[in-house]
Structure 1
Amino acid sequence: MIRPAVLLLALLTALPVAAQIYSWKDKDGKTHYSDIPPPSGPVKTLRGTPVAAPVAAPSGEQGEAEAAGGQPAADEGKPKTLAEREEEFRKRRAAEAEAQAKAQEEQQREADRQRFCEDARNQLAALSSGQRMARMNAAGEREFVSDEARAADIERLQRQIDENCLN
């Protein structure tokens, strides 16, 4: 029973030590002491960590800051609220997702281009080999590729490879 009472007494005596005490003079020259700093003017911290005096922005500057950026100039030094940080986080996530989608789309295009180049080179090699080739016509019958058609296909494939394939 004595130990909890001693612990409670130790905690209660430590609370006032953590409090800050401020001293300032008002416009009449009267000195004031308080644990709450005044809204404006020079402040002297008697106990605790020193705190800079809050300075009210002149109405002209504050109005200009609100018109230019939407928020008053006094908010620039304040930490961001949870909602603001969450909004920034969501914007970053959306930008990252968009960048990842673009990169994935670019990879897919590159893979498709590589596949096209490989197929075109294989067709060109087959046409250039000189072996006899056949195709199906519109009626579904098999017909052999003529030398003129072979030369036109070789020229077409070579042009596509030159235009679309880097190596």
Structure 2
Amino acid sequence: MRRFLIAAIILSAAVPAAAQLYKWVDKDGKTYYSDSPPPNQDTKRLSVGTGTTAEPAAAPKTAVQRDKDMEKGRQDAREAAKKSDDAVKQSAAQVEQCNVARSNLQGLVEGGRIARYNSKGEREVLSDEDIAKELERAKNDVAQICKKT
């Protein structure tokens, strides 16, 4: 039984290799292709070559691989969202710092007596020299902080 099966497989594989293809044109100019030649016609025997096989398809991913890929995608999305949130928070903080620096500068420019508390908690009024120093420092702060925004 086994020998018969092997012989059948070998013979069935040989049949396509031995196949012949014929081409002819009839009196009306129509072209025909057939595996047997017509009687009393000039025919052209065509050779049948074997085709090339396609590349094997990639093996489908297993459920574990798909889960790993999905988890990696989720993790990447979380990291991107966190970076975006951090950038927004940092930008908002810089804008707030710039607004405070401008407000301080505006208070110094508008003039009037300016007082601050010293290390002992006592209130002291700034002299004109101190106000000029604070004004210069406030301008530098605005230039430095607000250029980032």
Alignment TM-score, normalising by the size of structure 1: 0.55
CA deviation after TM superposition for structure 1 residue 154, in Å: 1.3
- Structure 1 vs Structure 2: percent identity of aligned residues? 30
Rounded Cα–Cα distance in structure 1 between residues aligned with 2:8 and 2:104: 94
- Mapping 1:55-134, distance limit 5 Å: 77-134=58-115
Q: In structure 1, list runs of 5 or more residues that go unmatched.
A: 1-24, 33-53, 58-73
Q: Secondary structure of 2:10's partner?
A: coil
CA deviation after TM superposition for structure 1 residue 88, in Å: 0.5
Larger relative contact order (CA 8 Å, sep ≥ 6):
2
CA deviation after TM superposition for structure 1 residue 27, in Å: 10
2:130 alignment partner in structure 1: 149
Runs (4 or more) in structure 1 with deviation over 6 Å come to 25-28
Q: Secondary structure of 1:100's partner?
A: helix
CA deviation after TM superposition for structure 1 residue 128, in Å: 0.7
Q: In structure 2, list runs of 5 or more residues that go unmatched.
A: 1-5, 14-52
In structure 2, the CA distance between the partners of 1:28 and 1:97, relative to structure 1 (3 Å rule), is closer
Q: Secondary structure of 1:157's partner?
A: helix
CA deviation after TM superposition for structure 1 residue 164, in Å: 2.1
Rounded Cα–Cα distance in structure 2 between residues aligned with 1:107 and 1:142: 38
Q: How many residue pairs are counted as aligned between the two chains?
A: 104
Q: Deviations over 1:92-118 (max 9, x none)?
A: 111110011011011111111000000
CA deviation after TM superposition for structure 1 residue 31, in Å: 4.0
Rounded Cα–Cα distance in structure 2 between residues aligned with 1:93 and 1:28: 52
1:163 alignment partner in structure 2: 144
What is the Cα-based RMSD across aligned positions, in Å? 2.8
2:28 alignment partner in structure 1: none
CA deviation after TM superposition for structure 1 residue 26, in Å: 7.2
Q: Secondary structure of 1:115's partner?
A: helix
In structure 2, the CA distance between the partners of 1:29 and 1:163, relative to structure 1 (3 Å rule), is same
CA deviation after TM superposition for structure 1 residue 135, in Å: 0.8
Paired residue type of 1:162:
A
CA deviation after TM superposition for structure 1 residue 28, in Å: 7.3
Q: Which has the larger Rg?
A: 2
